[in-house]
Structure 1
Amino acid sequence: MTSNMTGHATHQRLSAVPICVAIGMAMLLSQSANAQPMSVDRGAENHHPLSEKVPPGMAAAWLNHLRQYDAAWLQPLSIESPGGGTVELFSGSDVPVGAAMSPALVAVNAGHVYRLRISNIPEFPGVQLYPTVELLDRLHPPAGTEDQYPIPVLLTADDVRMASRGELVTRVIYLEQPQLAQVLDPLRREIPQRVLPTENALKEADRMGRPMAIIRIGGRQPTAGSPMSFYGTGGAAQFRAIPEHAKPNSDAAVVRMKSAGQIQRVSHTVTE
């Protein structure tokens, strides 16, 4: 894998995005309805325009507006629930795009939010979860190898237990900066991180690398009156066959990309 995986161009810091574009669109990592707004020092070099207070979808929409993602290009995601189960994908409609057994490979548009339904989990009979995937960015693998480098969306048994108790797990997946990874961990081990609910996990992910997606895993369920927006923002989506050489990841906390950088995650948990 070449260094193209780390970005089509030099990593654009989210904190460097012009603030004028964000007027009326304070950005997100959704943490808690009662969370205090992130304190802002407008003169500070590290001011971060993305906050945790706005609804899911606004960060992706803003980045899509700024970067003008190619709607014809679909970013593969590898979706895996603990021990197997059924994965369904929704995109702006209560009719699923399709379904597959975990691990499932789907391909979606950057700049959109998608809803999943995870069911038939062997260890949790009768449990259904509806996590969301907000895709902030895309990878840039060599042409023709896209499906070999999916962004991992991994649900653990602990995620299922916490969501069933009414807790919300918010996870930011990022592609780390190889230079920073070498400084922090010369042995190149993957280090999942946790932050407090009062902290901005998206800001931390941006400091460590390039934020790729926000995953929210909670106990929220659709009702007969749920708006179609519950099911996502309507981006393109499709299921794909998993490449023959690909193997399911056995440890949701350890995910290695075949590249100079690695996919990592920052997460926290709050009560919904």
Structure 2
Amino acid sequence: MTTVRPLTIDAVRRDHAMGKLVLAVGMLLVPSLSLLAQSPPTHRPGAGAIPPGAIGAQRLMRGGPLLGYTQPVELRAPEGIILSAVSGAGYSTAHDQRMLVGMAVGCVYGFKAVGVPSYPEIELYPSVELVDRLYPPPGKALRFPVPIELTADDLRIAAQGGLVTRVIYVEDPRTALPVVELNGQQWFEARTGDDPLALADAMGRPIAILRIGSRLASPGGSAFAEPMMLAKESTDDPRVLPATASLP
């Protein structure tokens, strides 16, 4: 299962985020993919099939505002799902449904998700690769984290042995529909053989890649970077924090 998700925020705060993150309804966008694909992509960072971490590494070669920046990311899961992050010592403190962390472009971060309905004994190990960042107003980074949703369908498919790949992107405000998103992030499924990263790039700017499918733990000594644990009530601007930090 390969899907593409637009990255959106609520209407009240939408105009404050640089780039104006807006909603597009996936089913309305699908018929126009062939037209969008005729124009050369603007932000193409690479192909979705290359190894995790390679796309972000390519982006870092450009330097500039990507280097040393800690991007707030919020993982969201259905009720009953417990999330924790891979660390050098094992796993971070468990979080119920939501988890706010800081990530650096070019790194791949590992997580553990347990409590999948109908699969209580199965542990899943999603990974998130950050390939770009947002540009919020100074001091407002924690108000605009990148939302990454692990839906019940995502987790069920992975628990049954499938691989889920999602690309989260910032939509092009010239083509997106300026309506409020009420029932979670909208998404559409890429056709067999389509590159989800290329599709997302044709419609906006890819920010992150979520992969769910691993059912084998690999904490400590793995290739995963350690995310920085964040809290929304914090007044710190993540831009002044180091890109990685030890988990508590």
* Distance across 1 between alignment mates of 2:218 and 2:91: 15
State yes or no: 1:56 paired with 2:46: no
Which residues of 2 match residues 1-272 of structure 1 at below 5 A?
1=13, 2=15, 5-6=18-19, 46=40, 50-68=46-64, 69-71=66-68, 73-90=69-86, 93=88, 95-121=90-116, 124-181=119-176, 185=177, 191-222=186-217, 228-229=222-223, 232=224, 234=225, 237-243=227-233
| Structure 2 residue identity aligned to 1:130 | Y
Alpha-carbon separation, structure 2, partners of 1:127 and 1:151: 27
1:50-95 per-position Cα deviation (integer Å, ceiling 9, x unaligned): 2233211100111112235232x3111111121143211125x362
In 2, Cα distance between equivalents of 1:158 and 1:179: 31
Q: 1:192 to 1:53 in 2, by over 3 A?
A: closer
Q: Which runs of 5+ in 1 are unaligned?
A: 8-43, 245-272
The AA in structure 2 aligned to 1:168 is L
Displacement after TM superposition at 1:101 (Å): 2.4
Distance in 2 (CA, whole Å) between partners of 1:103 and 1:4 is 22
Question: Partners of 1:219 and 1:4 in 2: how far apart?
Answer: 34
TM-score of the two chains, using structure 2 as the length reference = 0.69
Q: Match for 2:40: what amino acid?
A: N
Number of aligned pairs? 198
Aligned CA-pair RMSD: 2.8
Alignment gaps of 5+ in structure 2: 1-12, 21-37, 235-248
Shift of 1:167: 0.7
Identity of aligned residues (%): 33
TM-score normalized by structure 1?
0.64
Q: 1:161 to 1:45 in 2, by over 3 A?
A: closer
Q: Residues of 1 paired with 2:218 and 2:83: CA distance?
A: 19
The residue identity in structure 1 corresponding to 2:222 is M
Name the residue aligned to 1:253: none
Distance 1:4 1:75, change over 3 A: same
SS of 2:168 mapped into structure 1: strand
What is the alpha-carbon distance in structure 2 between the residues aligned to residue 145 and residue 191 of structure 1? Answer: 25
The question of whether the paired residues in 2 share the 8 Å contact of 1:98 and 1:239 is answered with no
Higher strand share: 2
Q: Deviation at 1:202?
A: 0.6
Shift of the 62–173 alpha-carbon distance from structure 1 to 2, 3 Å rule, reads same
Contact conserved, 1:94 with 1:228, CA < 8 A, in 2?
Answer: no
CA distance in 2, matches of 1:98, 1:109: 20
- Does the 8 Å contact 1:110/1:138 carry over to 2? yes
Quickly say closer, same or farther: Cα 1:123–1:242, change in 2 above 3 A.
farther
Q: Distance in 2 between the 1:199 and 1:94 partners?
A: 38
After superposition, the Cα gap between the structure-2 partners of 1:143 and 1:179, relative to the gap in structure 1 and judged at 3 Å, is same
CA contact (8 A) 1:84 1:103 kept: no
Q: Is the 8 A contact 1:130 1:218 kept in 2?
A: yes
Distance in 1 (alpha carbons) for counterparts of 2:78 and 2:119: 9
In 2, Cα distance between equivalents of 1:157 and 1:80? 11
- Structure with bigger RCO (C-alpha 8 Å, 6+ apart): 2
